[in-house]
Amino acid sequence: MVYLLPLFTVMIWGGNSIVNKLAASAIEPSSMSFYRWFVAMLILTPFCLPTFIKQWQVIKPYLSKLAFLAMLGMVLNQSLGYYAGLTTTASNMALITSLVPLLSVFLSVPLLGKRLSPLSIAGGVISLSGLAFMLGKGDIGFFLDKDMTQGDFLTILSASVYALYCVLLKRWKMPLSNWTLIYSQGLFAVAMLIPLWLSSDTLLPTQASLPLIAYASILGSIAAPWMWVKAIDLIGADSSAMFMNLLPVFAVTLAAILLGETIHSYHVLGGLMVISGVILSQFKLRRAVVTAVDADKA
């Protein structure tokens, strides 16, 4: 039953791609980004604010880092995703987002001092080839002679930003609980998103956007982080991370059922290449972690 935690988390994340696409026709991206975290903070405040106030002196030295992390993981990453939904498919967003673990491995080289293994390089080549094959609709030389859609570019940028967020979160280890980390960053995110929200043509959410905001704020911003952290505590970060590879499977399936998106052979083949490359890079990373633990015990 413990393995249902990361499974449900990844299912929620897969649903985020559907929400991003549906939100494109229901609410302005600027408003969606703001209301997602505004509602989440309203729900979390009664539970997290007392601890936040009590630990203020511990939190205070890390405010600049928390603000930068909020800008990356909660403002840029998610805002780019909502804007991407205007010009690309949910399937493309999900498959591109599945590159996050691989991008994190490559960013760990300069930021965490990790060495890039041959398997990581091979995994990168396979994943990028699969991405080119998918975006080029079967043409693996897509990047050489064609331009990608704005939505695909924004999703790649969003995935890169979130990978940087994940790596910096590891680099800047802070003596704060996970809920305090999320709540602190959420407060910064709301403050940063207010100017973007005020630039919207319509400030109030539309009726059609209410269930999307509820999904993104309650499931995407509260339930999923809690289940993911709990899964890491119970089965470990490495085992939990492997479930990330199921994200595009759930998202593409939901896109076909709920949005009527047609799944072509190049989606399947390109997606398999992307996922295989990510698994390959993670496999070496997992072995390296185990080796390091064994060395410490010796």
In this prediction, residue 33 carries a pLDDT of 93
**The tokens of 276 are what?**
């295989």
CB 218 within 8 A of CB 52: no
pLDDT in tens, 63-115: 999 999 999 999 999 999 999 999 988 888 888 888 888 888 888 888 888 88
Q: Please tell me the pTM assigned to this model.
A: 0.84
pLDDT in tens, 10-50: 899 889 989 999 998 899 999 999 999 999 999 999 999 99
CB 92 within 8 A of CB 151: yes
**Secondary-structure percent of the chain, ordered helix, strand, coil, rounded to 5:** 80, 0, 20
Burial class (CB in 10 A: 0-12, 13-18, 19+), 174: middle
How far apart, in whole angstroms, are the C-alpha atoms of residue 267 and residue 273?
10
| Residues 147, 99, 176, 57, Cα dihedral to 10° | -10
120 or 26: whose pLDDT is higher? 26
Q: Which long-range contacts (CB under 8 A, 24 or more apart) does 227-233 make?
A: 227/5, 227/6, 227/8, 227/9, 227/12, 228/5, 228/6, 228/9, 229/178, 230/5, 231/2, 231/3, 231/5, 231/6, 231/9
